[in-house]
Each structure stands twice: as C-alpha cells, then as structure tokens.
Amino acid sequence: MRIVSGIQPTGQIHIGNYLGAIKQWILLQEKNECVFFIADLHSLTTNYDIKALQNKITEKVIAYIAAGLDPEKSIIFVQSQIKEHTELCWILNTVCPVGELERMTQFKEKSKKFKNNINAGLFSYPVLMAADILLYKAYAVPVGKDQEQHVELARSIAKKFNQKFGETFPEPKSMTAKEGAKIMSLVDPKKKMSKSDDPKSYISLFDTPEDIQKKIMSAQTDSGKDVIYNITKKPGISNLLTIYSLLTNTTTQDVEKQFKKKPYSEFKKSLAKVTIDYLEPFRRKQKELLLRDVYVKEILNKGKTRALTIAQSTMTEVKEKMGLA
C-alpha cells in the first residue's frame, strides 16, 4: 500500500507532530511504500524568512531521519523539486467546487490568526494538499485529526475527477492514531500544540534537557490535586497524561494508578525525565547528521529521482484522459 504525508519546513518539529504523525510513519515504512516530503510550497502561504528557507528544509530532513525515518525504506524529497505537484494542483482546481474550500475550518482559523496575510494560496491550500496525495496515487494519508477534513476533500476531488475523466485516482483515506493525534499546548491545553505559537507551548524534538524540564514543570495544570484523566474538567493534566502514556507505551489509566495520591509536581518531574530520556537518541542522531551534509543531499537526490518517476507517470495518464496529450 502506498502512503503519502508531508510536513512544512518552517518551525520546529514538536512532540505533537511526532506522536500524531511521525511515530506512525516509522511503523508504516516497515510494510508499506511510503512517500514523505518537505512541504516547502505550502509554507509560502505564510510569512517566512527567505534567506533561512533552504537551511530550514535541510534541518527538517535531518529531523525526519533523526526521528526514525529510513531513506532506504521511504522516499524522502522536497515538494518544490517535483513540478508535477503544482501542475496537478491547477488541474484539480478546475474540478474542486469553491463551496468545498469555503467550508474548510483550517482556512477560517488561519484567516483569523494571520489577518494581514489572507492570500489565495491559503484558500486553495487544500487543493495543493490533494495534489500532493493524488499525484502518488496514495491509498492512505497519516494525519492529525485537524487535517482529516483536507483528506476528505482529496477523496471528494478524486471521485469527481474519476467520474468526469475515467478511473484514475484511488480515493485516499486518512490514518489517525487512536491516541495522541492531537497533543495540546502546554500553555493553553484547549488549543492544539503548534510550532507557530510561543516556544513555551511546545516541546521540540531537539530541545535541551534543561528546556524540556523547564517547559513541563511550568506547563498549565488544573484546579485540584489528583492526577486524573478527564479531558473536560482537567484538560491540562489530561494532556500531560496522554504524552506520558504514549512515550511509555502504557495506558492513561496505568499512569493514573502510578501517581495516585501523589502531587502534580512529582508527576511532572517524572514526565520530564521520561521525555528527556525518550528524545535523547533523536538529539544524538541530529548532531551526527548536521556534520554529514553530502549524505543528506544524496538522500534528497535519490528521493527526488524516485518521486519523479511516479509523478511523471501519473501526469502522463492525467493529461491523456483530459485531452491534454
């Protein structure tokens, strides 16, 4: 089964990205054909540092590999190096109804957040995401819960295209982790953890042990003293319990029992240690890869070649069916 997913180069990869998506990818690459890319074209919809972009892309590739992606088992490349992404995006724009884009909740949320930069690219972002998926004829897309609506749109576009031009694309399904698909902010546990927010609100995969300790100890908790999972009444402690259970591969109920009648401070100290120990191999691998620039470039070149073969084949078929070739 072919699986496709991507992540923007801007911002840090945080523990929410890892638990919600990347951890799944590592398991999926063992038995599936996986296509993972740096979504640099998507990052153009927000304000970004032009001079820093190429370094950010390299850092993100290193982060992928440090977190466990294997370039021998997965195709890893940069989105903008495969021009077929934008070519297919334009074609799919002619199939996608405007009404479908107007109901996208992420556009509404980002429009409120970036009021000074509401561009057409932000509006049609989900069509490019559909192109990213359909170009490789993916059957499944590992995403967080907030991206499920975009995968549904890709399904809808695939169906419309197939009905109009003949069977071409599989209708992809989203794959979300049962737990951890939506890790919340450490500062405001009612909001999703986001790399575009204050660094205090998230734990980067490569934060120093000191920073991890500081962030977890100052993470927002709730009134009361009991370490109990209750997402409605105790969103702060519930979020920390979810992180603890996923990093230790136990249930939240097991963690509750472990810290029964113990104070929040003791639970937080333990979570900080668990997190620091879990992320230590990532920090070590990142340092090693930062010194191997040629190796990282080789990975991207090989990934580009493999991705291009699939992309060109898909576009040849699409153009023939549409009367463009």
Per-residue model confidence (pLDDT) at position 178: 62
Assigned domain for 201 exists: no
Per-residue model confidence (pLDDT) at position 12: 79
Per-residue model confidence (pLDDT) at position 194: 86
By annotation, the residues acting in catalysis are 110, 192, 195
Question: Annotated binding residues, as ranges?
Answer: 8-10, 16-17, 132, 144-146, 183, 192-196
The whole domain housing 217 covers: 206-287
Q: Measured between alpha carbons, how far is 158 from 164 in angstroms, rounded to an integer? A: 10
Mark whether 36 and 98 lie in a shared domain: yes
Mark whether 70 and 144 lie in a shared domain: yes
Positions of the chain with pLDDT under 50: none
Assigned domain for 196 exists: no
Per-residue model confidence (pLDDT) at position 38: 95
Per-residue model confidence (pLDDT) at position 116: 75
Assigned domain for 200 exists: no
Mark whether 113 and 246 lie in a shared domain: no
Condensed to tens digits (0 to 9), the pLDDT of residues 90-114 reads: 999 999 999 899 888 776 676 666 6
Condensed to tens digits (0 to 9), the pLDDT of residues 162-172 reads: 999 999 999 99
Which CATH number belongs to the domain containing residue 52 in this structure? 3.40.50.620
How far out from the chain centre does Cα 231 lie? 23
Cα distances (angstroms) measured from residue 34 to each of 1, 5, 25, 242, 303: 8, 8, 8, 27, 11
Number of structural domains in the chain: 2
Contact 221, 259 (CB under 8 A): no
- Concatenate the DSSP letters of all residues of 245-271 into one string: HHHHT--HHHHHHHTTT--HHHHHHHH
